[in-house]
Structure 1
Amino acid sequence: MPFLNAQPYSNPSQDSQIVRAWRAFLRGEYHAGLGNLRPVVGFSWQRCHDAHVNPNQQNAPILGEGADMLSSIQKELLDASLPVMKEARAYLAESGSIMALADAQARILRTEGDTRTLGLAENIHFLPGAGWGEQDCGTNAIGTALAIGQPIQVHSAEHYCEGIQRWTCSAAVIRNPVDNAIAGAVDLSGLSSSYVRQNLALAVQMAGRIESRLMEAELQWRYRLLDAAMDRLSDAGRDGVLLFDRRGRLLKANDKAGQVLMDSSLTGRRLASLTLEAVARFEGRIDTSCSSVRLDFDAVRQEAVVVNGHTLGTVVIVPARSRYQAAEAVPHAAPAMPRATAWNAQANHGPQEQQQTGAGKGAFASVVGRSAAIAQAIATARQLAPSRVSVLLLGDTGVGKEVFAKALHDEHMLASGKTAPFVAINCGGMSRELLSSELFGYAEGAFTGARRGGMVGKIEAADGGTLFLDEIGEMPLDLQPHFLRVLEESEVHRLGETRPRKVNFRLVAATHRNLQEEVRAGRFRMDLFYRIAVTTIRLPSLCDRQGDISLLVMHYLQQLADIHQVARPAIAPQVLDALQAYAWPGNVRELRNALEAMVLTCKGGMIELPDLPHTLLQALETCQLPRHAEVAAMPPVVSVAPAATLADGERDALMRSIRLCHGNLTAVAKQLGIAKSTVYLKVQRYQLQGAIDAIRRIPARREVG
């Protein structure tokens, strides 16, 4: 996608001049050259002024309420972008940048990227369902790119609306590979204080990848349509047959079609320009931009080509006995529509759709939980399992990263039908020398005390299987280039040997550290980071999936009872309540250890409150146990009396969720199971922003972990 726009990039060094130019423009005093303003931005400002966009606007309007309103074109764009967006989630995490996908009308369909920046972006409604066209919120990368059809970067005061001027955004248009029409745009944004010039080139690259996937999907649809309709095309006898795809574009016509139409001017390129819409729209005519063909609508038939419930296209059959003649396009009364029939092709004409399995099945049955957070992590892992791409697991200490890594390995083994080793090693708590020998192994006599015959290292032991490196952020800096060479060359040198040994393994690494911060601080190599973080999966902390605590308690009570060969104890309801309310800074590991102590020390086969570990008892005594105890102390914002109307009930339910989530509307959307844009619409409808601001000013308890 070439940069036809002569000045696609912003220049942050000219921020002060751009601010002066913006103010002068609003006063009506702007003239060419003022503030070194790029012409593409100046033209956009003029369009915004002509459209009466408010320059003091603080955010974008919310246009829709979620995925249930999406058209088939929007859904196909979302599907094509899915792997690109998933990669963005991985490499934009904690980078300060976010990615957005918008449709051709500049409505955002999906966002991914740095969690903190996504939260800040909610203030300007940079979220699914919001409209970011120039007519909606002024000059911005998405709206302006769609307006000019070219990549564009918009920085700081180049935005027409004041509320968006803290941001820098870079967007490129996505074009339909069939007709080159604009299908949408992809955008990379961040606060203007963290300007990244290269984001525009990255947006162009992402747009190209999405276009390639759109083309692959389109070809797949067309192959299925041709396969299903081939018999009809070849067995039409003297009839003319036109095959249109699901968008109404002519895909193929049989040899008789041109003859039956009895107009040589319709052959070749002009015949290819026919559309199914033209057949329905024009009164007895098919428009070909240079002539029209009058049809006998009583004779022409349409047959929908349906495979496995999906309409792939339409066959238009033009019987040879009908008469067609060229005629000038003149207004007529609306004709009767061609008769349409449903044609259900055999299911085996198209590829069978893959069955989706639920979270926690197969190899991931060992991962206990049903919450949305853990289900998302499992779904991502399942998608990655068949490949051998490196995976980086992110999460706090104790969330179960090794259990997850083992499940990922086992799922790959199930998919491949093979058995191979899973080798784990923790990079923390070892000296540089010990970790080196554990990883690489050593030859006999390599150092004083070396084992006779040498030792196979963990890397070599994992050959053919999976190497799990826990706490990889603790790997000594001078050891990292040696491990990077193993990954790049697929060979390892034992300490004391000069002969390389070939190895082939899948790497799964894990850390609780922010490796990008470690890279910036010089404690972790950038090249190794990008090598191990090909894909990332974030495992949620236990406090973020409290609904899973009861499942984990039942699971570990049975497991620990079996290990210690005792009867599984019952658990008092108030104990379970206490376990569910505790913050669990040590996550699943801390929960398991607490349960193990209670299994071994409880009396009478029942775990009571006195059996709780000292830390939980202390939290109870100091009234710190409920993680959201401060919510109970909040001044009432809305009445909790029985609602008089359905709207009152909805408003009260929404406010209760807002108070419980301390004003975090993303968490509210997840708790209520509705789209985030729906929450914003209801907040506006019930005028709750003031109450939300009051709730957010109440200090939230800092969680450990």
Structure 2
Amino acid sequence: MPRHQPGSSLRAARELYLEVTKDPSARPLVVASWQRSLEHRVKSGSLDAPYLDNPNLDSPLARAALPILDRLHEQLADDPVSMMITDRNGVVLSRKVSHEGLTTNLNRVRLAPGHVFAERYVGTNGIGTALASGRPVMIAGREHYVEALRDFHCAAVPILHPTRRTLLGAFNLTTIRQGSDGMLMAFARSVAAQIEGEIAAITSRRERALFHDYMEACSAVRPGPVLALNRDVVMMNEQLSTAVTGPDHYALLDHAREIADSPRTEGMRSLALPSGRVAELRVSRCRREDSDAGAVFRVRLIGRPQPGPAVSAAPARSGLALIGSSPNWLRAVDDSRAAFVAGTSLHLLGEAGAGKRTLVEALHRAHGAGRRLEMTQPPLSDAPAVTEAWLHDIGELLAVPSHVVVVRDVHLLGDQLRQRLGNLLTHLDGTAGGQLILTGQPSMVGTGDQLDQLCGALVEVPPLRRRPADIEHLARFFLRKYRPSGESGLAADALTMLQRCPWPENVRQLESVMRGLARRLAGPMIRAEDLPPECRVASHKVLTTIEALERDAILRGLMDHNSNVQRTAQDLGISRATMYRKMRRYGIVPSSLG
């Protein structure tokens, strides 16, 4: 979100609004939306509503809203009114309309399922403005920013989660009939309230189902540590809460949330904890009425906690010129090295940027003398000729005994191509050939996957947030790399902030931050105030470029205004409610900005 001088672009938006609409009332909410439309550089003379394939109709919002829309659609048959439900990004999930003329008009402006009607794409409109402002809005006729939408009257109401009060989406009514704005808005509010009520009922049923399965696990003859969670609820018994504390506690919860968010994942999983222990997780899905209510984890802890190195200690090396002394990192390196040296096929699982490729290249440098490293990725097309050629190439590479063949990002393979690759590897198994290494991201395929079964070793590379002791040594390594003169050091407050950052893009993101600091700063010491905005948030979410710009604008505004939320919201042209919603989304805590 671009920054602007207070009042300047708001005045320009107001002047443009008055010129186009001739409306002297110039409602502040609508003018603020026109201001955002100008900042997003939306073209008023053309409509650009992007299209997304297969919108998610399995969300709690869609499951709650669609039956309600179906019932109301029967009651409004042949009325020139359209009902729509959108997700929080403005993607139209469903549209109900039976009036032929209105259907034609809506199709003309692409106000249909799959299209995105966020303000950043189509300017001021009922859906986008309700989502951006966090308030019910009526956008009538010329109040629309884009000319093609000015025949419509739209009443939209944000839909919030019943307990978290986070934005889920919006309910929208659209008509071409004038003079019924008050009735339209009252109806929209009523339907949105019904949808929120149904979401609350679904949430309650999910929580009861999860609680039932959790209690059943705790009531076993030998229950052991038990954890149950979904996006709304976390439950753990006393055995788990006393056995797993500190960094181990956060690492376990973080990993469990990733698994719970992937409905296909169940069975046995292993997690190396920061203390050096291993947590074996038996994952059971909680399913009711064809929906996923969360996951129950029966936990078995293996080993004893190992004393961690002092922060000031020199970094322990793995013997492969890799930085890191955390027990879970060293275990991943040792297990990978054992498989590589033995010639066993290896599957490396880890988040993007965690160091999978770096680990493979280090193994090859240290133990791959006389062997050629070949890397390939999933094909860009699903066309039969392309996939056939890709599989043929892998077969040819593996036919050479001196080859180490790395297939990267196998989590991106479609089910059919995944199965065909598995069949190829099964056919090659037992023949004298090259060594296979697969890399991919965890929690994106179910357990018992064919590729996992074909690999002799499965190793999980820990994300950086589970290696807090390594952050200082990695940061100093990257500083030396990009400023070889060694002029810069890390102040204690900067190091503390780096260690608290969740690093959603892992080591790759830390390297990017240190490279920017090394090139931008000339002083001998890097302090907390020198760190970029991304180091001041608590969210694990990987952001798009636009989201990162919006997050940084909010952070800079808060820092400029001494963490004053109201003044920052005014500067950015958004409501205080929207400001708080975006702060929650990006993990921004004003009191921590200092």
When normalised by structure 2's length, the TM-score is 0.43
Structure 1 length-normalised TM = 0.37
Q: Which has the higher contact order (CA 8 A, sep 6+)?
A: 2
